[in-house]
Structure 1
């Protein structure tokens, strides 16, 4: 997989991490139904095979979410630590690369040899983050610079200057900076 052709896998990793909003205390991955809804809305995760989701699946995916969030939070300041988290997560979920060929194009895809939901999701998300680190650099993964936001992001842009998770957070920070400059206390 490469980030140019599978940015949805990178977005799945970011979205998984952002199911937990630590500043607000929001967690949108508390039930099996919420996990199913997450998987249904993320094409990169939809390849999951196996039986109906269980509370065990939920617990394993929540554990994976902690790893993915830690990678996104640490990559720009501790790339070696982020790499260790990725490697441990892939090893724990028995994920291995496979060389694929389709329509005169070759690529690698990381898959897990188990049908566990978390293992498939780990192979997808952690390998996507590893690809961002190896192709664009660890500084492309981060946490929103907004003072009241801890959402994560992956910067796949050309110039690599992203500091905020969304335009809304960037605008909010810009307005706050403007107000502080023009309203001295």
Structure 2
């Protein structure tokens, strides 16, 4: 394991949220936001309205900037996110999870909780100098993000579809 479970979970959720903006956009309905919320184990309150969906969608660009920044810029962005949202880290247990960090009130808006949890995860990434585990997809036709949690740092594509597309193109180029 490279990072603590809550760090990995927050990074995976952030990458999934950022990648939801890639065509076709997969975060356009309340049902898609509900599925994201459940899939990534978020806790706390929800409003289930269009404003919440819009706020979460608006987080995609700032999170992309954070996850693709160099170390110094990522540190500055992380500090800004935590300060703007008055993050106060606390150890909590809930829903079968042992102690882990939360830094916002469970009643805070979902977009703020996503931003703070991602920033808290980036604290670990920056301190461990592991930003190389975050990259843009190796498929030149895709701008998706890749979170490489493998031991040998071999992950290059955001999805199997991108990896397959590149492999098929290389095969066809060799046969031509």
Is TM (by shorter chain) over 0.5?
yes
In the TM superposition, what is the alpha-carbon distance from 1:107 to its structure 2 partner?
6.5
Match of 1:60 in 2: 55
User: Would you say the 8 A contact 2:11–2:121 is kept in 1?
Assistant: yes
User: Would you say the 8 A contact 1:57–1:117 is kept in 2?
Assistant: yes
Match of 1:140 in 2: 133
User: Would you say the 8 A contact 2:71–2:129 is kept in 1?
Assistant: no
Residues 85-108 of structure 1, C-alpha deviation per residue, up to 9 Å, x if partnerless? 22222222222222468xxxx966
Specify which of 36, 39, 43 is matched with residue 37 of structure 2. Answer: 39
Q: 1:108 to 1:90 in 2, by over 3 A?
A: same
User: Would you say the 8 A contact 1:12–1:42 is kept in 2?
Assistant: yes
Aligned length: 170
Q: Extract unaligned runs of 5+ from structure 2.
A: none
Q: TM-score, normalised by structure 1?
A: 0.76
Give the structure with the larger strand fraction.
1
Q: Extract unaligned runs of 5+ from structure 1.
A: none
User: Would you say the 8 A contact 2:92–2:102 is kept in 1?
Assistant: no
Give, in whole Å, the separation in 1 of the partners of 2:84 and 2:49.
Answer: 20
Pairing of 1:26-175 with structure 2 (within 5 A): 26-43=24-41, 45=42, 47-50=43-46, 52-72=47-67, 74-75=68-69, 78-99=70-91, 109-113=101-105, 115-135=108-128, 137-175=130-168
Q: CA RMSD in A?
A: 2.7
